[in-house]
Structure formats: structure tokens, C-alpha cells
């Protein structure tokens, strides 16, 4: 039942009951398909059951109708394609609100503190002048009374200042949490690298700063990865993906942008790298992966050697992220066609 099927006269209690029903169905569905109850999995399956995202419903129904397993890769792809962008926009909007809140709090704090200091300084100055009056004693008494009032106002202002500082700390904590959530929407949970959404954001930012056309793109793919999954299972396949990701992250220079944009597919943007430097980095990664030796933990079985292929494209100033990626991806295809376990540079 989609939201359009609901009775317009439904009460809040009806809505709560329905939401509970959806939650139970989501959990059952995850268990049936052996999917963990991570926020990403839950969000996608919840969208499937609440009927608000027809694309997700169609994709899952089509996969199940074809008799194919619903795995974490597929669910993650659905999240990145249909839900992640919405989450990023929401967190960015709230983050901006927090920034405005902080600025307002600090402005209030500075204004209140400055006003209190100026008030006391003015009163003290006037008290010094009062002594020259013919009725000095009376005027001093009045001024003294005003000074005491100002001191009390200052004490009240100190309380306000502490309250504002506390609010400032809480707002900063909230902003930190929002930034954490924003990063999570752009991060691949299996490898810790950026996901496809993160790739769009970060690579666009880096290329926007590359005014001289010095960036280089690497696109790499694990050779015969389906064979690994079919032979050893998806759990071992996940380990292989993580090991490749760790190797890439360890061997690329600071400032590079590593991404897992698909199942066994990765990309790396090197902001300041010549074609020769990029080829050297790629060959080091390829050689290191080829030498990896993995042992399956539960039965001590040695996993067969696996390799990667890499395509490289040097950016021209005409390239945006999409065209640069396409050129590197074409070079990857040539590396695959040429026998795999090799690095190919785009012409």
C-alpha cells in the first residue's frame, strides 16, 4: 500500500500504527535476505515498503522477479542513487542553519558584553565629575546607587554570557554531529573510501581548483572479481575489496581523492601529478596487489592470487570530471582487453 492509498481521514494514531507495521516488515525483509540492519540497508528497504520511491520499488521487484539475490552491493547502489543526495542536501541545509545560529549567539554575546563595559565606564567617569558640583554629596549618592545597579546588571550579564557560551558549545556539538552524518552519506561503509556521491562532491571541488590542468585520473578494477565471489563467496569478495582499498589508500599521495564508485571498481584523482608520476603510482599499486596473499580465516584456505587493471588519463583544461573519468575508464577497458593486470595510459 502506497501513501496515495491511505485514507485522508486517518488519525495520527493510525499513522503511528502503520509506521510500526512498516518497521516490522523492514526488519523481517532484511533477515529473510540476510542483510545486516545497517542504517543504509534499513533506509532502502523502508523506502521500498513505504511506497514513496517508485524507482527503488521497481529495482528491487525486478531483481527478485529475475530470481537474483538481493545483496549489500545492490542495496548500497540504490541508496547512493536515490537516497544519498537527498540526505546530503538535508544535512547541508541544517548545517547552514547551525552556522547562522552560532553567528547570532556570538553577536549577542559581544553586544551584551560591550554594552555592560561601556555602561560601567560611563558611570565611573560621571562620578568623578560629580565631585565638582555644589551638591556633590547628594549627586555622589545617586551616582553610587546607579553604579551598584550597573554592577548588578553586569552580574546578570555574566549569567547571560555563560548561558550563551553553553548554547554556543551545544550548537558546535550539533554542527560536528551534522558534519559526521554528512560524511557518512558520502562514504562507502565497506572500505571507508568516498562513494559515488562523495566522488561527485570532492572531485568536482578539486578539479575546480585545478586551474592549470595538472590533475590525473586513475580508474582501476579487480580482475575476474565475479570468479572470486563464485569460488569463495561474497564474504571473501568483501575482504578482497577492502584489501585493494587499503592498498590504494596507503600508496597514493596526500591530497589525492580515492573513491569506490562500484562493486569492485575504484577511482583516484591525483591533483598535482604528471602522467609519468601517475603511472609510477599505478604500477606500485598494481604490483602490491598482485603480491597480496590472503588466507580464509575459518578453514585456513589460501585465496588464489588476484590482480587489478588500471587506466590513467591526464587532464586537459577542456576536461570536467565526467570527461576525464570517461577517458581513464576507456584506458582501463584497453588494459582489460590487453590481458589484464596492467596499467594503460589514455592517449
Residue position matching grid coordinates 499513522: 15
Strands in 216-222's sheet, in edge-to-edge order, are 257-260, 265-270, 216-222, 308-314, 343-345
Q: How many CB atoms lie within 10 A of CB 266?
A: 25
How many helices (H) and strands (E) the chain has is answered by 11, 5
The four Cα atoms 62, 67, 71, 73 give a dihedral, to 10 degrees, of: -50
Beta bridge partners of 309: 221
Count Cβ atoms within 10 A of the Cβ of residue 319 and give its class: 0-12 exposed, 13-18 middle, 19 or more buried. buried
What's the gap between Cα 274 and its chain centre?
29
Torsion angles phi and psi, residue 224, rounded to 5: 50, 45
C-alpha triplet 22, 28, 30: angle, nearest 5°: 100
Q: Which of 223, 226, 231, 219 is nearest to 339 (CA)?
A: 223
Please identify every residue annotated as catalytic: 264
**Residue 325 to residue 253: CA distance in whole angstroms:** 19
Beta bridge partners of 216: 270, 314
Amino acid at each position: 500500500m502506497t501513501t496515495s492509498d491511505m485514507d485522508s481521514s486517518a488519525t495520527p494514531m493510525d499513522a503511528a500504527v502503520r509506521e510500526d507495521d512498516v518497521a516490522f516488515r523492514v526488519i523481517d525483509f532484511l533477515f529473510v535476505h540476510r542483510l545486516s540492519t545497517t542504517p543504509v540497508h534499513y533506509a532502502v528497504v523502508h523506502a521500498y515498503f513505504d511506497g514513496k520511491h517508485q524507482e527503488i520499488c521497481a529495482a528491487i521487484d525486478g531483481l527478485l522477479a529475475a530470481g537474483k539475490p538481493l545483496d549489500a552491493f545492490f542495496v548500497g547502489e540504490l541508496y547512493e542513487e536515490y537516497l544519498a543526495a537527498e540526505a546530503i542536501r538535508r544535512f547541508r541545509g541544517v548545517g547552514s542553519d547551525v552556522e547562522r545560529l552560532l553567528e547570532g549567539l556570538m553577536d549577542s554575546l559581544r553586544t551584551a558584553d560591550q554594552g555592560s563595559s561601556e555602561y560601567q565606564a560611563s558611570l565611573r567617569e560621571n562620578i568623578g565629575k560629580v565631585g565638582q558640583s555644589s551638591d556633590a554629596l547628594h549627586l555622589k549618592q545617586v551616582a553610587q546607587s546607579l553604579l551598584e545597579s550597573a554592577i548588578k546588571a553586569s552580574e546578570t550579564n555574566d549569567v547571560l554570557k555563560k548561558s550563551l557560551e553553553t548554547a554556543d558549545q551545544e550548537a558546535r556539538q550539533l554542527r560536528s554531529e551534522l558534519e559526521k552524518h554528512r560524511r557518512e552519506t558520502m562514504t562507502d561503509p565497506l572500505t571507508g573510501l568516498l562513494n559515488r556521491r562523495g566522488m561527485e562532491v570532492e572531485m568536482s571541488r578539486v578539479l575546480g581548483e585545478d586551474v592549470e590542468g595538472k590533475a590525473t585520473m586513475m580508474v582501476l578494477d579487480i580482475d575476474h572479481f565475479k570468479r572470486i565471489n563464485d569460488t569463495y563467496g561474497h564474504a571473501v569478495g568483501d575482504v578482497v575489496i577492502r584489501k585493494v582499498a587499503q592498498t590504494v589508500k596507503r600508496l597514493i599521495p596526500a591530497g589525492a581523492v580515492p573513491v569506490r564508485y562500484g562493486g569492485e571498481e575504484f577511482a583516484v584523482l591525483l591533483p598535482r601529478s604528471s602522467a609519468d608520476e601517475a603511472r609510477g603510482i599505478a604500477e606500485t599499486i598494481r604490483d602490491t596487489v598482485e603480491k597480496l596473499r590472503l588466507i580464509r580465516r575459518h578453514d585456513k584456505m589460501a585465496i588464489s592470487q588476484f590482480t587489478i587493471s588500471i587506466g590513467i588519463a591526464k587532464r586537459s583544461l577542456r576536461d570536467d570530471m565526467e570527461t576525464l573519468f570517461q577517458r581513464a575508464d576507456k584506458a582501463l577497458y584497453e588494459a582489460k582487453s590487453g590481458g589484464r593486470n596492467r596499467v594503460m595510459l589514455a592517449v
